[in-house]
A and B are shown apart, each in its own frame.
Chain A
Amino acid sequence: MSNNSKYLAIRKGVIAAAVVLSAGLASGCSESGANGKTLPILGEREAVERELNGKTVVDTLYHQIPDFAFVDQDSQQVTQQTVEGKIYVTDFFFTSCPSICPKMKSQMLRVYEKFEDNPDLLLLSHSIDPQHDTVAVLKDYAERLGVKAEKWHFLTGEKDSIYDIAMKYLVAVQEEGDAASGGFTHGGHFVLVDGQRRIRGVYDGTKEASVDQLIQDIPLLLNEKRHAKK
C-alpha cells in the first residue's frame, strides 16, 4: 500500500474514536451555553474528518438515540417525531415490579409535577415486560398515577426493540431477575435526552438527591434549546 492510499484510507474512515462515559471528561469538551454552565454530552463519540472549501475539518459525531417506534397508553404511536424539537427524560420499568419501580415512579412524578406545564419536556417510560404490559395495563397504570398521556408516555412494543434501545440509553436491562425483583432486573436510571437525541445526563431514579439534580439540570437544557433557536 502506498503512502498516499494509506492516507486516503485513513481519511475515509474514522480517525479517532473515544469512549467518553464520564461526565467530568465530557464537560471539558462541550460548548459553553448562555450562562456558562452546560450539560455534558455522554456516550461514545467519534471524530470524522471531511473536506470543506478545500480545507480539512474535523466533526465530532456524538452518540445518538436511533429512530424508534413504540405505542403508548392511548394506543398512540410514539416515535422520534414525537420528541422532535423537545427534550425528554426516559426510564425502564414494568408495572408488576415489586422492587425499585414504585420508588422510581414516585420520583418521576416529582419531575412531572415540576414541568407539567412546559410542553418542551416529555417523559417516556418503557416497559421491559411488554407481554404483560399491554396498552390496557399501561392505561390503567397511568390513570392510577393521575398523569396525562401527552406529557408522560408509557411505552410498550416489540420486546427486542425495547431491549435494544435500552442499551442505546446506556441502561442495563435483563430478563432473568430473581423472584424478589419480579423476574426482571434493570437499572433504575433516569436518562435526560436533548433535542438532537443525545444523552445529556444520567440520574439514579431511586434517589431523591439525584432526581433533585435532574430537576436542576432540565432548565439548563431547555435554555440551551431556546438559545439555539434564535
Chain B
Amino acid sequence: MRKNRWRTSALGLLLLTTLTQCFTDKQNEGQRLYAANCQSCHMEDGSGLRSLIPPLAGADYLQQHRQQLPCLTRHGIEGPMVVNGIEYNRAMPGAEQLGTDEITNLLNYIQTNFGNSNPRYTMQEVEQLLEPCPPHHN
C-alpha cells in the first residue's frame, strides 16, 4: 500500500515535469525554429543583409503577402521581390521538414517580433493556406 502510493506520486511528478517542459518548449518554439531555419540569413534581429537578404523587421512584405507566407516558408522562393521599396533577388531555400504547427509558430514569431505587431495566424488558417503547396517528398 505504502509502496503503491509512492509509485503514484512519483509518476505524477514525472508527468507534471514532462508537461511543464512541453509547455515551455512550445512557448519558445517560434524562436527556436527561427534560430534553426532563418537566423543565419535574416539575422538575429531580423535586419537581413543590405540589399542581399531582405529584412523581416518592419517589412511591409509580411503584411502585403500574408496569405503566401506559409507556402513561401515551406517551398522557398526565387526571383526578384520588393521589400520596403528595395528589390532583392536571391533564392531562399524552403523549410520542407516543418509541419503545419511549426510553420504557424514560426510565422507568428516573425509577425509579432522584431518590432512587428501584425495579426497572428491560427493553425487552421495556416493549414488552409498550405493546401496548394503539399510538401515535396524526396
* A100 proximity list for chain B (CB < 8 A): 40
List residues of B (1-54) whose CB comes within 8 Å of A's CBs.
40-41, 43, 49-53
Total B residues in contact with A, Cβ cutoff 8 Å:
10
Tell whether, in the assembled complex, residue A145 and residue B50 are in contact, meaning their CB atoms are under 8 Å apart.
yes
A144 within 8 A of B: yes
Name 10 interchain pairs, CB-CB below 8 A, sorted by A.
A98-B40, A98-B93, A102-B53, A103-B40, A105-B49, A105-B52, A109-B50, A144-B50, A145-B49, A145-B50
Cα separation A143 to B51 with both chains bound (whole Å): 8
Contact between chains at B51 and A102 (CB < 8 Å): no
A98-B40, A103-B40 given; A145·B52 CB < 8 A: yes
How many A residues have CB within 8 A of the partner chain? 14
- Which 10 A-B residue pairs are closest in the complex by CB-CB distance? A144-B51, A102-B41, A144-B52, A145-B50, A102-B49, A98-B93, A103-B40, A106-B49, A146-B50, A99-B40
**Whole-angstrom distance between the Cβ of A141 and the nearest chain B Cβ:** 7
Q: Known contacts being A102-B40, A103-B43, A106-B43, is A96 close to B91, with CB within 8 Å?
A: yes
**Which residues of B (45-69) have their CB < 8 Å from a CB of A?**
49-53
**Cα of A100 to Cα of B39 in the assembled complex, Å:** 10
Question: Looking at A99, A103, A106, A143, which has the most chain B CB atoms within 10 Å of its CB?
Answer: A106
Residues on the A chain within 8 Å of B91, using CB: 96
**B43–A102 contact, CB under 8 A?**
yes
Residue in chain B with minimal CB distance to A104: B40
* Docked-complex contact B52 and A102, CB < 8 angstroms: yes
1/0 contact trace for A82-110 toward B, CB 8 Å? 00000000000000101110110110010
A33 CB, nearest partner CB in chain B, Å: 36
Please name all residues of chain B whose beta carbon is closer than 8 Å to the beta carbon of A141 when the two chains form the complex.
52
CB-nearest residue of chain B to A102: B41
Report the bound CA distance from A109 to B51 in whole Å. Answer: 13
Query: With the chains together, A9 CA to B98 CA distance in Å?
Result: 66
B51 partner residues in chain A, CB cutoff 8 A: 143-146
A103 to B40, CA, bound (A): 6
Cβ of B3 to closest chain A Cβ, rounded Å: 50
List of B residues within 8 angstroms of A145 by Cβ: 49-52
Q: In chain B, residues 66-91, which have Cβ atoms closer than 8 Å to a Cβ of chain A? A: 91
In whole angstroms, what is the CA distance A146 to B40 when docked? 20
Which B-chain residue is minimally distant from A96 (CB atoms)? B91
Closest CB-CB distance, A104 to chain B, in whole Å? 10
CB-CB under 8 A from A99, the residues of chain B are: 40
Closest to A182 in B: B93
Expressed in whole angstroms, the Cα–Cα distance for A5 and B41 within the complex equals: 63
Q: How far is the CA of A194 from the CA of B40 in the complex (A)?
A: 30
| In the complex, residue of chain A having the shortest beta-carbon distance to the beta carbon of B76 | A98
A141 CA to B52 CA, complexed, in Å: 7
CA distance A229 to B69 in the complex (A): 58
Nearest B-chain residue to A143, judged by Cβ = B51
C-alpha spacing A103/B44, complex, angstroms: 10
Shortest Cβ distance from residue B98 to the other chain A in the assembled complex, whole angstroms: 13
> Bound complex: CA of A98 vs CA of B36, how far in Å?
12
Q: A106-B49, A109-B50 are in contact. List 9 more A-B contacts (CB 8 A).
A: A98-B40, A100-B40, A102-B41, A102-B53, A103-B43, A105-B49, A105-B52, A144-B51, A146-B51
